[in-house]
Amino acid sequence: MEVPPVTPPAASPADGLLPPATVLERCPTGIEGLDSILEGGIPRGNMVLVAGSVGTGKTTLCLEFLVRGAERSERSLFLSVTEASQKLIQNLSTFEFFHRDLVENGSLVFVDLPKVYDRLGLGREEMTSEEIGILLRTIRDLVRSLGVQRLVLDSLTSVCYRIRREEQIRDFMLRLGQELKEVGCTSLLVSEIGPLPGRYSLHGVEEAIVDGVILLSNIHRMGDILRVLQIIKMRGTAHSQAQFVIQLTPIGILMAPHLKGGREATA
Ligand SMILES: Nc1ncnc2c1ncn2[C@@H]1O[C@H](COP(=O)(O)OP(=O)(O)OP(=O)(O)O)[C@@H](O)[C@H]1O
Ligand SMILES: [Mg+2]
């Protein structure tokens, strides 16, 4: 039987090239150095842990992320557990990048979670599954009704202290993450951790569930404290894992590569 010769397919202009990579939509943090190592920002809809011990700049970084979003007309919500909103706004006023009208015109919204707990009768030290459900629905309703595009929870650790059981924390975070992703809301969750090597959250499950981890640390060097930032993980992003020195300045957070030298200890 005669077999017809195989005709090679016509050459296409893309021959020899890989299919074009999918570019994820980014949510720019507005912190220049951070956006440049994150290929433009956090992938939109991602849930990211901002971990670090006391005074490392977690709240400041989260506030700048929200202010920069509000300036771009992205509705930004700060859920505060550890500090009262009024005090946060007062502290924010010391930064030049903050304008009070962002709060007055509703672009930047502060909600004190302890007040929400009181209103909903969630006073118990350890929340039941039903109460966790109520908290999740309250956050979901806030996000949906206000059309929130950027959310900060300061801190996730304080919420987890009241959820306590690991499987319930996992469930809370998975449901929160799913809800936020569905509406395209990018979030930063603050994790207050001590200087534990290789650990970024209270229970450890939190860091496994989130899409990204930004670690802030204090490094003691020759009598001074250096604040440093490091991206531990960021799904969907080819990022640097180097340490960057950060400075909290009136015009916002400035970042520079960390040049090693001298004796150091991390806290
Ligand atoms: N206006 C400002 N300009 C520069 N630095 C500031 C300003 N306000 C605060 N800081 C610095 O930021 C530090 C606190 O930062 P921040 O509250 O963001 O840290 P944190 O990690 O959230 O702390 P905590 O663990 O207590 O919540 C202060 O100790 C101070 O050194
Ligand atoms: Mg703080």
Which protein residue has the closest C-alpha to ligand 1 atom 18? 57
Which protein residue has the closest C-alpha to ligand 1 atom 23? 55
Q: Ligand 2 centre and the CA of 206: distance in Å?
A: 18
CA-nearest of 240, 161, 233, 222 to 193 is 161
Taking the CA of residue 192 as reference, the ligand 1 atom at the shortest distance is 25
Q: Ligand 2 centre and the CA of 138: distance in Å?
A: 23
Residue 205, token pair as written in the block: 């499950």
Taking the CA of residue 62 as reference, the ligand 1 atom at the shortest distance is 18
- Residue-wise pLDDT for 107-127, tens only, equals 999 999 999 988 888 878 888
Taking the CA of residue 53 as reference, the ligand 1 atom at the shortest distance is 25
- Read off the pLDDT band of 5 (50, 70, 90): low
Q: What are phi and psi of 102, to 5 degrees?
A: -65, -35
Q: Ligand 1 centre and the CA of 203: distance in Å?
A: 25
Contact criterion met (CB below 8 Å) for 193 and 54: no
- Residue-wise pLDDT for 162-207, tens only, equals 998 999 999 999 999 999 999 999 999 999 987 678 889 988 999 9
pLDDT of residue 201: 92
Alpha helices in the chain (DSSP H): 32-37, 58-71, 85-92, 101-104, 113-120, 129-146, 156-163, 166-182, 205-209
- Distance separating alpha carbons of residues 246 and 254, to the nearest angstrom: 6
| Block residue for tokens 């979670």 | 113
Distances (CA, A) of 260 to 119, 147, 240: 50, 44, 16
- Distance separating alpha carbons of residues 117 and 267, to the nearest angstrom: 33
Give DSSP secondary structure letters for 210-238.
Answer: SSEEEEEEEEEETTEEEEEEEEEEETT--
| Predicted structure pTM score | 0.89
> Alpha-carbon Rg of the chain, whole angstroms?
22
Average pLDDT over the chain, rounded to an integer: 90
User: What is the β-pairing status of strands 252-257 and 108-112?
Assistant: unpaired
Better-predicted residue by pLDDT, 2 or 61:
61
**Ligand 1-lining residues (CB < 6 angstroms):** 52, 54-60, 91, 94-95, 192, 248, 250
- Distance separating alpha carbons of residues 104 and 113, to the nearest angstrom: 20
According to DSSP, residue 81 is labeled S
- Distance separating alpha carbons of residues 117 and 80, to the nearest angstrom: 12
Q: Which ligand neighbours the alpha carbon of 57 most closely? A: 1
Contact criterion met (CB below 8 Å) for 250 and 94: yes
Domain boundaries, the chain: 41-213
Weakest mean pLDDT among 31-45, 48-62, 213-227, 251-265: 251-265
Mean pLDDT of 149-162: 96
- Read off the pLDDT band of 20 (50, 70, 90): low
Contact criterion met (CB below 8 Å) for 244 and 257: yes
- Most informative mutation of 83, 200, 248, 249 for ligand 1 (most atoms within 8 A of CB): 248
pLDDT of residue 93: 94
- Most informative mutation of 56, 60, 62, 247 for ligand 1 (most atoms within 8 A of CB): 60
Mean pLDDT of 1-13: 49
- Read off the pLDDT band of 74 (50, 70, 90): very high
| Block residue for tokens 């039903």 | 130
**CATH number for the domain running over 41-213:** 3.40.50.300
Cα–chain center distance at 236: 15
Contact criterion met (CB below 8 Å) for 50 and 82: no
Taking the CA of residue 94 as reference, the ligand 1 atom at the shortest distance is 1
Better-predicted residue by pLDDT, 266 or 8:
266
pLDDT of residue 263: 55
3 state DSSP class of 42: strand
- Residue-wise pLDDT for 212-258, tens only, equals 999 999 998 888 889 999 999 999 999 999 999 999 999 999 999 88
At position 218, the amino acid (one-letter code) is N
- Residue-wise pLDDT for 124-153, tens only, equals 888 899 999 999 999 999 999 999 999 999
pLDDT of residue 8: 47
Q: Ligand 2 centre and the CA of 58: distance in Å?
A: 5
Mean pLDDT of 208-212: 97
- Read off the pLDDT band of 262 (50, 70, 90): low
Taking the CA of residue 216 as reference, the ligand 1 atom at the shortest distance is 21
Helices 129-146 + 113-120 axis angle, to 10: 120
